[in-house]
Amino acid sequence: MACLTLALAGVTAAGAPSATADADAEDVVDVQILATNDFHGRIQANGGAAGAAVLAGAVRQLRGENPNTVFAAAGDLIGASTFESFIQHDKPTIDALNAAGLDVSAVGNHELDQGYDDLMNRVLAPYDAATNPFGGAEWQYVAANLKVRATGEDAVPASWLKDFGEVQVGFVGAVTEELPALVSPAGIADLEVRSIVETASSEADALKAEGADVVVLLVHDGAESTDCAAMPTAGNAFASIVNGVSPEVDAIVSGHTHLAYDCAFPVDEWAGEAVTERPVVSAGQYGTNLNQLVYSVDAATGEVAGVQTAVLPLAGSYPADPDVEKLVADAVAEANVLGAEPLGQTAGELDRAQRWTVDEETGEDVLAENRGGESTLGNLVAEVQRWATEAPESGGAQIAFMNPGGLRADLVGTGDGEFPRTVTYQQAATVQPFANTLVNMRLTGDQIETALEQQWQRDADGNVPSRPFLRLGVSEGFTYTYDPARAEGDRITGMWLDDAPIEEAASYSVTVNSFLATGGDNFRAFAGGADARDTGKVDLTAFVDYMAAFAADQPLPVDAAQHAVGVSFPADAPEAYAPGSAVAFDVSSWAMTGSADVTDPELTVALGDEVLGSAAVESAIGTEPFDEVGTASVRVTLPADVPEGATALTLSGAATGTEVTVPIEVTRPATAEPTVTVDAPETVVAWLQRPRLDVTVSSPAGTPTGKVTAVVRDRTVDRERLRGGDATLRVGPFRPGTVEVEVRYSGDDATRAATTTTTIRVKSLWEIIFGGHGHAGRG
Q: Which domains does the chain have, with CATH numbers?
A: 2-332 (3.60.21.10), 342-550 (3.90.780.10), 564-666 (2.60.40.10), 675-770 (2.60.40.2470)
C-alpha span between 78 and 99 (Å, rounded): 15
Residue 646, classed as helix, strand or coil, is strand
Look at residue 281 and tell me whether its pLDDT is greater than 90. Answer: yes
C-alpha span between 177 and 181 (Å, rounded): 9
8 A C-beta contact, residue 173 and residue 77 = no
CA distances from 167 to 30, 274, 298, 559, 658 (A): 9, 24, 8, 62, 67
Q: What's 578's DSSP letter? A: -
Query: Where residue 82 falls among pLDDT bands split at 50, 70, 90?
Result: confident
Q: Given the DSSP bridges, would you call strands 610-616 and 564-568 parallel, antiparallel or unpaired?
A: unpaired
Nearest CA among 26, 7, 30, 16 for reference residue 304:
16
Look at residue 770 and tell me whether its pLDDT is greater than 80. Answer: no
Burial class (CB in 10 A: 0-12, 13-18, 19+), 235: exposed
The mean per-residue pLDDT over the stretch 439-446 comes to 97
Burial 258-293 (b: 16+ CB within 10 A, else e): bbbbbbbbebbeeeeeeebbbbbbbbbbbbbbbbbb
Look at residue 10 and tell me whether its pLDDT is greater than 60. Answer: no
Helices (H), 474-610: 514-517, 539-550
236-231-30 Cα angle (round to 5): 120
Look at residue 651 and tell me whether its pLDDT is greater than 60. Answer: yes
Burial class (CB in 10 A: 0-12, 13-18, 19+), 396: middle
- pLDDT at residue number 557: 96
Look at residue 627 and tell me whether its pLDDT is greater than 70. Answer: yes
The mean per-residue pLDDT over the stretch 417-441 comes to 91
- pLDDT at residue number 24: 54
Query: Where residue 772 falls among pLDDT bands split at 50, 70, 90?
Result: low
Cα maximum dimension of the chain: 152
Look at residue 198 and tell me whether its pLDDT is greater than 50. Answer: yes
Q: What is the pLDDT of residues 523-534, one digit of tens each?
A: 999 999 999 988
